[in-house]
Amino acid sequence: MVDFIGIERIQELVARRGAARFIEELAGEIEADFLRWSVFDKSPRHATHSPVGVIELMPASDGRLYAFKYVNGHPQNTAVGLLTVTAFGVLADVQTGYPLLLAELTLTTALRTAATSALAARRMARVGSRVMALVGNGAQSEFQTLAFHHLLGIREVRLYDTDAGATAKLEHNLARLRLPDLQVVRCGSTAAAVQGADIVTTATADKRNATILTPEMITPGVHLNAVGGDCPGKTELHPDILLRPDARVVVEYEPQSRIEGEIQQMNADFPVTELAQVLAGQVPGRVSDRDVTIFDSVGFALEDFSSLRYLLRIHHEERGTQQQIDLLPDLDDPKDLFALLLPETEKLSSRPGVPA
């Protein structure tokens, strides 16, 4: 039997843990794995593109556990009542190759993306950052707000989305969350939202080289958390922002980000730092209060590896619906797979010719 975490169970787990504590614990797991970066078997994810979206497979292993995530990105889906991003994944034992857990990763992706954004911002944003602009108020936006409120101390979020309904939904959900001391400000444009912000999070979905942020919007010292550009031909930042002399760009895994990140717009020798180096303290995330720091996030398999391991642990810790599924055959003789297709009465009690 294989442990199973579906939507109901993840709702239960987040409710039992509390969303803020869940994100904080997840951030701890992700950071711990980035700190042992060299032990991981890493590769850029395998992307299968179509005119309307992408389906990706994301594997990672530390030699003891193996994980993969299936994830899609279809920006036009919301127009027909479907999510832009859905995901599920598997955690397996490297020793036997047997899966240990099959889990939903749609909610978990939003939680882990927010956790990773906050981890990067803790090292890259100016100390004392309190105001965040949030451009793109769709599925990821509440999670980003929660993480930055809880882990960074953000006390004002300035919202903008081309779809006013998405902003109204976010406002409504944030009002229900009642995050202590959080001021929510609705803005009429990206430029208005960004003005005066210490941190700018972009989480828009559009399958093109969009320019959500343009050079004149950027002030010295700001931290950009660019989440939405995560595919070839799908970016959010004007290239001149990356080319500023005071810009410092951090990516998760350089070989993947060169293909998918904001830096796909740059030459192959454009200087970047990997998040693992920043988290390990080998390279500073920020040198001066005037640096423009950019976390060019695309989402890396290690974050899902950490998430699946964390999910399995709390699934066993927390009471409630402990579901398992019969994904794997349980055989008396592992060489007699065919026995599964025989009626009970015709099965051998032992191998022929072998004394019982």
Ligand X SMILES: NC(=O)c1ccc[n+]([C@@H]2O[C@H](COP(=O)([O-])OP(=O)(O)OC[C@H]3O[C@@H](n4cnc5c(N)ncnc54)[C@H](O)[C@@H]3O)[C@@H](O)[C@H]2O)c1
Which residues of this chain interact with ligand X, rule CB under 6 A?
Answer: 73, 75, 78, 84-85, 109, 113, 135-140, 160-163, 166, 190, 203-206, 210, 212, 227-228, 230, 297-299
Q: Return the axis-axis angle of helices 301-317 and 106-124, rounded to nearest 10°.
A: 120
| Closest to ligand X by CB, 152 or 298 | 298
CB of 250 to ligand X, least distance (A): 13
What is the DSSP-derived secondary structure letter of residue 234? B
Nearer to ligand X, 3 or 310 (CB): 310
Q: Min. distance of Cβ 267 from ligand X in angstroms?
A: 22
Residue of 252, 255, 347 lying closest to 302 (CA atoms)? 252
Q: Which is nearer to ligand X, 97 or 188 (CB)?
A: 188
Residue closest to ligand X when measured from CB atoms: 138
Residue 3 or residue 256: which is nearer to ligand X going by CB? 256
Dihedral of alpha carbons 254, 257, 259, 261, sign = negative
Q: Which is nearer to ligand X, 91 or 298 (CB)?
A: 298
DSSP secondary structure letter of residue 231: B
The DSSP string of 336-353 is -GGGGGS-GGGS-SS-TT
CA distance 159 to 148: 14
What is the separation, in whole angstroms, between the first and last Cα of the chain?
27
CA 129, 276, 84, 76 torsion-angle sign: positive
- What residue type is assigned to position 70 of the chain? Y
How far apart are CB 29 and ligand X at their closest, in Å? Answer: 16
**Residue type for position 117:** S
Secondary structure element (H or E) that encloses residue 70, with its range = strand 65-73
Q: Give min distance, CB of 96 to ligand X, in A.
A: 30
Q: Dihedral of CA 150/153/154/156: which sign?
A: positive
Which positions are catalytic? 230
Q: Are strands 292-296 and 247-251 parallel, antiparallel or unpaired?
A: parallel
